[in-house]
Chains A and B, each alone.
Chain A
Amino acid sequence: MLNNEYGKDDTFFFIYQQDICKDKQCFGMNFSEVFKQSNQLCKISPDGKYLATCVQYRLVVRDVNTLQILQLFTCLDQVAHMEWSSDSLFILCAMYKRGLVQVWSLEQPEWHCKIDEGSIGLVSSRWSPDGRHILNTTEFHLRVTVWSLCNKSVSYIKYPKACQKGMDFSADGRYMALVERRDCKDFISIFVCDDWHLLRHFETETQDLSGVEWSPNGCVLAAWDSCLEYKMLLYSLDGRLLSTYSAYEWSLGIKSVAWSPSSQFLAIGSYDEKVRILNHITWKKLIEFEHPATITSSKAVVYKEVEKKPVIGTEDLSVHQIAMGSSLFNTKSNYEITSLPVQVPVVKPDTDRANPKIGISAIAFSADNRYLATKNDNMPQSLWVWDMQRLGLQAVLEQTAPVRCFVWDPCRPRLALCTGNNKIYMWSPAGCISVKVQVEGSFQVQSIMWHGSGDSLVLLGKDQLCLCYLATDEEK
């Protein structure tokens, strides 16, 4: 066990091969020092060089590798939302209570910009894809104001709809789809982001349009109804209705939607605990993925997290344990492969309340299109991984606590997840590992973010953050 210490400011603990379950895939994980953050506001710049964090009303910009503080900005109030511009030159800080948006420049730290919405209020603020316009949504969704950083022009967009996902930009940043509602009818407007020219405006056949999402190739727009009605509409870029899909009537409908990176598949997760995959040629259901309480599929591997609490007063204290300090609360955990058939723990939701905790709430495709990860809300401790080539269940991860967050590596088929304890878990086709976050004090991982290169992870706690550097074989 190596125990290196680098530099004065930043200390690393180098941990080698912790608790690997299945395979001998060895990679080292470096954990950085813990930093403060508030509101889970921590973003890596799109070019991957900088890390911006908000601590109360301060904006701190660090270098991603050295974690040195490069810039420090002070805002007028506690920051509610922070976002990098697409060219990594500017950072937006929105303070909703005050109705203010402040923009900071990295190149010119003395540059400043303040947008005051006045009494009209502010509920949401975001960059446009070109990084030169800011879209502010006023309170009660009265309108969307488009502020330009290039010139004095201001645009207003009326009747935006307050829904789950009312605004979406296409991947190439050229078009924006906006959900509008006039006279109790839903409309979709497609704008050209270049000059905010209204390209198309059409009504949709929905009761209560809940969200829109562009396909990664930017040619198809998926629009779905609220959960009271299962309806998925697919529109072409020029506003034509390509197809309508409705799996069933009456029961609660769509809960989550995800496009595959190649635009080949559209995954729809619904309240009936199923994920339906539509194919891009016919827009008809290709396959249905069920999440049964008993898993009998013979090709699936079920990983069960098993915690081992150490016995107090053990004679054999290893160096590792002494270095860590309080071994009393060091619960080690690793994965065990359980043989089929397996019973997945189910939590029955309260049927009297609205928005019941049942159904597929999160879907994510891996970057290579090969895998799909889903989470069923009434099996909160389990994460299901599906193989899209075989169209079958690949693996099920059963954790000791409800899964809080799971994110795919942007480059490789590798999944990182956390359950709110002090460990991060990673799954890859080779196997599964559980790694304890080796930092001073306790660190409860609540959210995970991948760096664009797939080499490091940002772990967010309640008001802390820490970076995890994954060393590959070549680097060692």
Chain B
Amino acid sequence: MTKTVFLPSKIIPELFVPQLFLFFFCVCVSQALPLEHTKNYIKVSLIISPTEDMSTIYCYSTMPPSRQYSHSTMPLLPVSPYSGPSDFCTENNISECMLYISQELSSLGLPSIFYDLNGIRELDVTSALNGMYDLLQLQRRTMGMVEELEVEQLKVSSDLHCQQLSSSKLKDQLELSKKENIRLRERERQLEINVKSLQSCLKNEKEEVQKLQNIIASRATQYNHDMKRKEREFNKLKERLNQLLADRKDKKQGMDVLNYVGRSDGRRSQWKTVKTDARHESEMYKTLLNEFDKHQKELMLENAELRKVLQQMKREMVGILSPKKHSQKEEKCTEFTDQVSFFDENIHIRKSVFNEESSEMSCEHAREKLTNSIRQQWRKLKHHVENLDNKASMVQLGREVGEEMISKDVHQDEMERLKVEIQQCKDFIQTQQQLLQQQLNTPCDEETAAVLNDCYMLEEKERLKEEWKTFEEQRKNFEMERRSFTEAAIRLGHERKMFEEDRATWLKHQFLNMTFTEHMAIKTQNALSDCK
């Protein structure tokens, strides 16, 4: 957008002010244009007015777009009040200048600077000065805006710079990671190839092993076949040899003995008959059966031993797992039925059954139950021990970490102490139980029972008596106190009556000694006080 500004070519001193003023105006006007309109360029043409020279000096300023936003951009038009003579306004064209300026001002929304007097335009100084003032304000505001904008622009440009740097950094990083990624992919690929090749090697080896085994098998069959063939041939040879030797009679085979010796067991030899055969068979079977019997006996003994061991183990496991409720005498356990261990009732029954030492019980059911129960208890014991181990290890870990844990010695001492305490308590409980047992079981005769009862009763009675005594005492005390309180109350009543009487007399006295009005006053006062 081009804005033509008329400037005077030379400065006429007497019109200096208006000329300058006008020039200044123009500058302000041009400056006051919002910058958005001059995004592309500002073209300012200075046209000299058509006066003496009639020359027009065109001064264009084309600002490159980038330079627009540079804070070092100096407005081309001088802002200083006195930079050069303005040739916008001369003596002759004052009214046109005024008109022009008014038009410009009106376009900006300011009142005109002149007023019309019979066709002559007269400069209205006030409005002109007002207009100038307004323009100056406008100028200042715009300058402020410009500054702000410049600052913002700086900020933005620095931000941009930062962003550019970071983006370049990120780009570099991206490059690096892409390269890394490629490298790793490459490696993975190579390893996969490696794995594949090894797998194929393995497969080949396996195939080879299989092949070799097949070869071995086939060779073995071949050798067997050959061996058999040779053996048959050998047998034939042997037969032939045997035949030849039998036919040949040169060397006689025989035994030459002085006399026959008796049998080692002294008995005569017997003919071979069916009976002897049967006897041999039976003897053989007898031997076998004896052996089986012996074997079975041994196994039974072993079985019994193992059963005993299992039972003992079970008992001990039960003992370990339930120490509080475990009574040391096994027999009592069955009698105290209220002492229920935390296993089911069946175990009691089984215990009592096995306590009878029924080692002959070999039925499957009982055997299974025994083994199952042992397995169960063993599992529980295992859990228990594992828990203890965990706790111990945790305590150990804790000790390593902090000093809050108590030392091992102290811990052990405490444990000992606790154990001793437990033992004492157990003993105490046992004695109590014994006593209770005695009491329940010992058939005491009536006398002693009565005496015993009496003893207990006496004790109770004594205690009760004592309590009564104390109670009586307390009651007496209460009575006394109450009496004293009543007396006190009565006394208090008396005193109050006395006090009332006194008051009454005093009042009468007063009344008799006073005038009416006073009396009335007093009366009203009294009434008031009464009311209160």
A positions within 8 Å CB-CB of B: 86-87, 90, 103, 105, 110-120, 130-132, 140, 142-143, 147, 149-152, 154, 174-175, 181, 184, 192, 194-195, 197, 199, 207, 217-219, 228, 236-238, 250, 281
User: Chain A residues near B257 (CB, 8 Å)?
Assistant: 103, 112-114, 149
Assess whether B291 is in contact with A111, with CB atoms less than 8 Å apart.
Answer: no
Assess whether A118 is in contact with B264, with CB atoms less than 8 Å apart.
Answer: no
User: Chain A residues near B270 (CB, 8 Å)?
Assistant: 195
Assess whether A195 is in contact with B264, with CB atoms less than 8 Å apart.
Answer: no
Assess whether B256 is in contact with A113, with CB atoms less than 8 Å apart.
Answer: yes
Judge whether B143 is part of the interface by a CB distance below 8 angstroms: no
Please judge, given known A-B contacts A112-B258, A114-B255, whether A219 and B245 are in contact too, CB under 8 Å.
no
Chain B 201-237 against A: per-residue CB contact (8 Å), 1 yes, 0 no?
0000000000001001000100010011001100000
Assess whether A140 is in contact with B241, with CB atoms less than 8 Å apart.
Answer: yes
Assess whether A197 is in contact with B258, with CB atoms less than 8 Å apart.
Answer: no
State in angstroms the CA–CA spacing of A228 and B220 once bound together.
Answer: 10
Total A-B residue contacts, Cβ distance less than 8 Å: 106
B positions within 8 Å CB-CB of A: 213, 216, 220, 224, 227-228, 231-232, 238, 241-242, 245, 248, 250-265, 269-270, 272, 276-277, 280-281, 283-285, 287-288, 291, 299
The distance from the CB of A331 to the nearest CB of chain B, in whole angstroms, is: 49
Assess whether B256 is in contact with A197, with CB atoms less than 8 Å apart.
Answer: no
The majority secondary structure among interface residues of chain A is loop
Assess whether A238 is in contact with B260, with CB atoms less than 8 Å apart.
Answer: no
Assess whether B263 is in contact with A150, with CB atoms less than 8 Å apart.
Answer: yes
Assess whether A199 is in contact with B280, with CB atoms less than 8 Å apart.
Answer: yes
Top 8 closest A-B pairs, CB basis?
A118-B253, A118-B251, A113-B257, A184-B228, A219-B291, A149-B261, A115-B255, A114-B256
State in angstroms the CA–CA spacing of A217 and B281 once bound together.
Answer: 18
Assess whether A147 is in contact with B291, with CB atoms less than 8 Å apart.
Answer: no
Please judge, given known A-B contacts A114-B255, A151-B260, whether A236 and B238 are in contact too, CB under 8 Å.
no
Assess whether B241 is in contact with A132, with CB atoms less than 8 Å apart.
Answer: no
User: Chain B residues near A118 (CB, 8 Å)?
Assistant: 245, 251-254
Give the one of B241, B261, B276, B287 with max A CB within 10 A.
Answer: B261
User: Chain B residues near A207 (CB, 8 Å)?
Assistant: 224
Assess whether A130 is in contact with B262, with CB atoms less than 8 Å apart.
Answer: no
Assess whether B265 is in contact with A250, with CB atoms less than 8 Å apart.
Answer: no
State in angstroms the CA–CA spacing of A120 and B246 once bound together.
Answer: 9
Q: List 30 A-B contacts (CB under 8 A).
A: A86-B264, A90-B261, A111-B258, A111-B259, A113-B255, A113-B257, A115-B256, A116-B252, A116-B253, A117-B253, A118-B245, A119-B245, A130-B265, A131-B264, A132-B261, A132-B263, A142-B238, A142-B241, A142-B242, A149-B261, A150-B260, A174-B283, A175-B284, A184-B227, A184-B232, A199-B280, A207-B224, A217-B291, A219-B287, A238-B285
State in angstroms the CA–CA spacing of A219 and B285 once bound together.
Answer: 10
State in angstroms the CA–CA spacing of A151 and B260 once bound together.
Answer: 6
User: Chain A residues near B254 (CB, 8 Å)?
Assistant: 115-116, 118
The distance from the CB of A379 to the nearest CB of chain B, in whole angstroms, is: 28
Q: Which B residue's beta carbon lies closest to that of A154? A: B255
Assess whether A197 is in contact with B291, with CB atoms less than 8 Å apart.
Answer: no
User: Chain A residues near B227 (CB, 8 Å)?
Assistant: 184
User: Chain A residues near B281 (CB, 8 Å)?
Assistant: 199
Assess whether B245 is in contact with A120, with CB atoms less than 8 Å apart.
Answer: yes
User: Chain B residues near A174 (CB, 8 Å)?
Assistant: 283, 287
State in angstroms the CA–CA spacing of A230 and B224 once bound together.
Answer: 16
State in angstroms the CA–CA spacing of A240 and B532 once bound together.
Answer: 133
Please judge, given known A-B contacts A116-B253, A119-B251, A120-B245, whether A151 and B264 are in contact too, CB under 8 Å.
no
The distance from the CB of A126 to the nearest CB of chain B, in whole angstroms, is: 16
The distance from the CB of A318 to the nearest CB of chain B, in whole angstroms, is: 55
State in angstroms the CA–CA spacing of A111 and B257 once bound together.
Answer: 8
Given contacts A105-B261, A143-B242, A219-B287, 18 further A-B contacts (CB under 8 A): A103-B257, A110-B258, A112-B258, A117-B253, A118-B253, A119-B248, A119-B253, A120-B242, A120-B253, A142-B238, A154-B255, A174-B283, A175-B284, A199-B280, A217-B291, A228-B220, A238-B285, A250-B213
